Amino acid sequence: MSLETIIDLQRHPLSDAAFRRASKQALDTDGVLALTEFLQPSALTALVTAAERNEDQAFFAKSTHNVYLTPPNEALPLDHIFNRQVVSTKGCICDDQVETNSPLRQLYDAAAFQQFLCAVLGEAALHPYADPLSSINIHYAPAGKELGWHFDNSEFAITLLLQKPSGGGAYEYIKDLRDAEKGEMNFSGVEAALDGRMVPVGLDIEPGTLVLFRGRNALHRVTPTQGDITRYLVVLAYNSEPGVELSESARQTFYGRVS
Ligand SMILES: O=C(O)CCC(=O)C(=O)O
Ligand SMILES: [Fe+2]
């Protein structure tokens, strides 16, 4: 299958220098790049059908987690913001459950796609997660299910919304709330955000949209789904360095297993 059958390359000319520049500018300014009607309609339909087919394999998170996706720090008080627990209840299927012939694998591996991402992110190369679970995920959020506030382990993430619920399921974020590279956790800023003293930016997108965001330093969440239509969302995760695994505690929380 050629890349044009998956991506609308007329609308999104990934190799075009001006298109790349405009995309980079949007990401740098807003912390998020959203490309609407990125997927070809037939590819979107096929991906929704496959997501439905595999829905019964999804693991639904049951535990709570902190926004840093780490185990609690026992040296800090239980009520310290580092240890504050938020709830995630959405479901997920992992890379090893995505069908071998899924167009998602082809997209994930495509040189033209990765080169576009590198240009926009200012990276030399992109690398899959070294663990077998974390590179391609499909998230399922039926009524009432949500993804709590967190910072990602990976520097950036790429998502594709496949199915949008009739209410809720909104992606909200606060850009540059910490600086992980400098080891800056910004406890006071995180506390203000979790206590509702900061107003997040909401992103309202339609199925077929590709979203690129810098999730390591942007605090973000997805609000609970309302209504009977399950939110389906693909996450394509890459790292700027080879050999990186998603932390075991994040895997345990979101996948219910580590391998
Ligand atoms: O569901 C989304 O839109 C965002 C997913 C996300 O934040 C994550 O997988 O870490
Ligand atoms: Fe995230």
Ligand nearest to the CA of 90: 1
Share of the chain above pLDDT 70, in %: 100
Q: What is the pLDDT of residue 180?
A: 94
The tens digit of pLDDT for each residue in 168-220 reads 999 999 999 999 999 999 999 999 999 999 999 999 999 999 999 999 999 99
Characterise 81 by phi-psi region: left (phi > 0), alpha (psi -120 to 50), beta (else).
alpha
| pLDDT, tens digit, 9 for 90 and up, residues 20-31 | 999 999 999 998
Q: What is the architecture of the domain spanning 3-255?
A: Sandwich (2.60)
pLDDT > 80? residue 83:
yes
Mutate to test the pocket of ligand 1, among 220, 221, 239 (most ligand atoms within 8 A of CB): 220
> Given this model, what pLDDT does residue 229 score?
98
Average pLDDT value for the chain: 96
Span between the terminal Cα atoms of the chain, in Å: 30
Of 156, 168, 151, residue with least CA distance to 226: 168
User: Are 221 and 172 spatial neighbours (Cβ–Cβ below 8 Å)?
Assistant: yes
Domain boundaries, the chain: 3-255
87 CA to centre of own chain: 17
User: Which residue's CA is the closest to the ligand 1 atom numbered 9?
Assistant: 235
CA gap 159, 117 in Å, rounded:
12
Place of tokens 């998603």: 246
CA atoms within 13 A on the CB side of 92: 25
Atom of ligand 1 nearest to the CA of 90: 1
Q: Are 162 and 233 in contact (CB under 8 A)?
A: yes
State residue 121's pLDDT score: 95
- The pLDDT of 120-134, averaged and rounded, is 96
Structure confidence at residue 55 as a pLDDT band (50, 70, 90): very high
- At residue 238, the 3 state secondary structure works out as strand
Q: Are strands 147-150 and 136-141 parallel, antiparallel or unpaired?
A: unpaired
Q: Between 84 and 2, name the one with better pLDDT.
A: 84
Residues with Cβ within 8 Å of 66's Cβ and at least 6 positions away in sequence, in order, are 72, 82, 83, 84, 85, 86
Closest residue to atom 3 of ligand 1, CA basis: 171
> Residue 127: what pLDDT?
95
- Across the range 75-80, mean pLDDT stands at 96
How far, in Å, CA of 86 to CA of 244, rounded?
Answer: 25
Note the pLDDT of residue 70: 93
3-state secondary structure of 81: helix
Query: What confidence score (pLDDT) does residue 62 get?
Result: 84
Residue 146 predicted with pLDDT over 80: yes
Residue 255: per-residue pLDDT: 96
Let me know how long the chain is: 259
Residue 1 has pLDDT above 80, yes or no: no
Q: Is 139 in the pocket of ligand 1 (CB under 6 A)?
A: yes
* pLDDT band, very low/low/confident/very high, at 153 (cuts 50, 70, 90): confident
Residue 63: what pLDDT? 81
120 Cβ closer than 6 Å to some ligand 1 atom: no
Mean pLDDT over residues 87-110, rounded? 97
